Amino acid sequence: MIGPGTGVRVYLACGPTDMRKGIAGLAAAAQEVLRQDPCSGAVFAFRGRQGDRLKLLTWDGQGFCLYYKVLERGRFPWPSRADGTARLTAAQLAMLWEGIDWRRPSWSAPPQRVA
Protein backbone atom coordinates (compact mmCIF):
# COMPACT_ATOMS: atom_id res chain seq x y z
CA MET A 1 0.00 0.00 0.00
CA ILE A 2 1.21 3.50 -0.77
CA GLY A 3 0.69 4.83 2.70
CA PRO A 4 0.58 8.10 4.53
CA GLY A 5 3.53 9.58 6.41
CA THR A 6 4.44 8.83 9.99
CA GLY A 7 2.79 11.92 11.48
CA VAL A 8 -0.64 11.39 9.91
CA ARG A 9 -3.80 11.45 12.01
CA VAL A 10 -5.92 8.30 11.72
CA TYR A 11 -9.59 8.13 12.73
CA LEU A 12 -11.65 4.93 12.96
CA ALA A 13 -15.41 5.01 12.60
CA CYS A 14 -16.34 2.58 15.37
CA GLY A 15 -19.10 0.16 14.50
CA PRO A 16 -19.96 -1.11 11.02
CA THR A 17 -20.16 1.04 7.88
CA ASP A 18 -22.10 0.31 4.70
CA MET A 19 -19.33 -0.84 2.33
CA ARG A 20 -21.42 0.15 -0.69
CA LYS A 21 -20.49 3.76 0.03
CA GLY A 22 -17.98 5.35 -2.28
CA ILE A 23 -15.76 8.38 -1.85
CA ALA A 24 -18.61 10.88 -1.51
CA GLY A 25 -20.50 8.78 1.04
CA LEU A 26 -17.41 8.08 3.14
CA ALA A 27 -16.34 11.74 3.03
CA ALA A 28 -19.81 12.67 4.28
CA ALA A 29 -19.47 10.06 7.08
CA ALA A 30 -16.09 11.52 8.04
CA GLN A 31 -17.69 14.94 8.32
CA GLU A 32 -20.97 13.99 9.99
CA VAL A 33 -20.12 10.92 12.09
CA LEU A 34 -16.48 11.55 12.94
CA ARG A 35 -16.85 15.37 13.04
CA GLN A 36 -13.66 15.85 11.02
CA ASP A 37 -12.83 17.70 7.82
CA PRO A 38 -12.44 15.01 5.13
CA CYS A 39 -9.99 17.27 3.24
CA SER A 40 -7.67 17.69 6.24
CA GLY A 41 -5.16 15.06 5.10
CA ALA A 42 -6.13 12.64 7.86
CA VAL A 43 -6.88 8.98 7.13
CA PHE A 44 -10.41 7.77 7.86
CA ALA A 45 -10.94 4.03 8.34
CA PHE A 46 -14.26 2.23 7.90
CA ARG A 47 -15.03 -1.47 8.42
CA GLY A 48 -17.93 -3.51 7.05
CA ARG A 49 -20.50 -5.38 9.11
CA GLN A 50 -18.90 -8.81 8.63
CA GLY A 51 -15.50 -7.43 9.60
CA ASP A 52 -13.59 -8.72 6.58
CA ARG A 53 -13.65 -5.48 4.57
CA LEU A 54 -11.79 -2.26 5.25
CA LYS A 55 -11.84 1.09 3.43
CA LEU A 56 -9.40 3.92 4.05
CA LEU A 57 -10.15 7.41 2.77
CA THR A 58 -7.64 10.25 2.62
CA TRP A 59 -7.16 13.55 0.82
CA ASP A 60 -3.73 13.89 -0.80
CA GLY A 61 -3.99 17.58 -1.72
CA GLN A 62 -5.27 16.96 -5.24
CA GLY A 63 -8.12 14.56 -4.65
CA PHE A 64 -9.39 11.70 -2.53
CA CYS A 65 -7.65 8.33 -2.37
CA LEU A 66 -9.70 5.28 -1.46
CA TYR A 67 -8.00 2.06 -0.38
CA TYR A 68 -10.09 -1.09 -0.11
CA LYS A 69 -9.04 -4.45 1.30
CA VAL A 70 -10.95 -7.71 1.72
CA LEU A 71 -9.45 -10.42 3.93
CA GLU A 72 -9.61 -14.00 2.65
CA ARG A 73 -9.76 -15.29 6.25
CA GLY A 74 -10.33 -13.59 9.56
CA ARG A 75 -11.61 -10.18 10.54
CA PHE A 76 -10.12 -6.76 11.04
CA PRO A 77 -9.86 -5.91 14.76
CA TRP A 78 -12.25 -3.09 15.59
CA PRO A 79 -13.56 -1.21 18.63
CA SER A 80 -17.25 -1.49 19.52
CA ARG A 81 -19.84 0.98 18.30
CA ALA A 82 -20.11 2.41 21.83
CA ASP A 83 -16.53 3.70 21.57
CA GLY A 84 -17.60 6.26 18.94
CA THR A 85 -14.32 7.33 17.34
CA ALA A 86 -10.84 5.95 17.88
CA ARG A 87 -7.47 7.55 17.02
CA LEU A 88 -4.57 5.45 15.77
CA THR A 89 -0.92 6.11 15.03
CA ALA A 90 0.58 5.42 11.61
CA ALA A 91 2.18 2.25 13.04
CA GLN A 92 -1.18 1.04 14.35
CA LEU A 93 -2.73 1.77 10.95
CA ALA A 94 -0.05 -0.38 9.29
CA MET A 95 -0.86 -3.23 11.70
CA LEU A 96 -4.60 -2.81 11.05
CA TRP A 97 -4.07 -2.94 7.28
CA GLU A 98 -2.21 -6.25 7.71
CA GLY A 99 -5.00 -7.68 9.88
CA ILE A 100 -2.91 -7.56 13.07
CA ASP A 101 -4.74 -6.64 16.27
CA TRP A 102 -3.31 -3.15 16.87
CA ARG A 103 -4.84 -3.11 20.38
CA ARG A 104 -2.75 -6.07 21.58
CA PRO A 105 0.31 -6.51 19.37
CA SER A 106 2.43 -9.54 20.08
CA TRP A 107 6.02 -8.41 20.46
CA SER A 108 8.87 -10.87 20.23
CA ALA A 109 11.21 -11.44 23.13
CA PRO A 110 14.09 -8.99 23.49
CA PRO A 111 17.46 -10.17 22.15
CA GLN A 112 19.55 -12.23 24.53
CA ARG A 113 22.91 -10.88 25.50
CA VAL A 114 25.71 -12.74 23.81
CA ALA A 115 28.44 -14.09 26.14
- pLDDT category at 2 given cuts 50, 70, 90 is low
Strands 64-70 and 10-16: unpaired
User: Are the CB atoms for 77 and 103 separated by under 8 Å?
Assistant: yes
What is the phi/psi pair of residue 31, to 5°? -75, -45
- pLDDT category at 37 given cuts 50, 70, 90 is very high
Average pLDDT over residues 73-102: 84
Average per-residue pLDDT in the chain?
A: 86
Residue 42 has pLDDT above 60, yes or no: yes
Where are the domains positioned within the chain?
Answer: 10-97
- Global pTM reads 0.83
DSSP-derived secondary structure letter, 109: P
Residue 92 or residue 64, greater confidence: 64
Quote the CA–CA distance of 62 and 20 in Å, as a whole number: 24
pLDDT of residue 26: 96
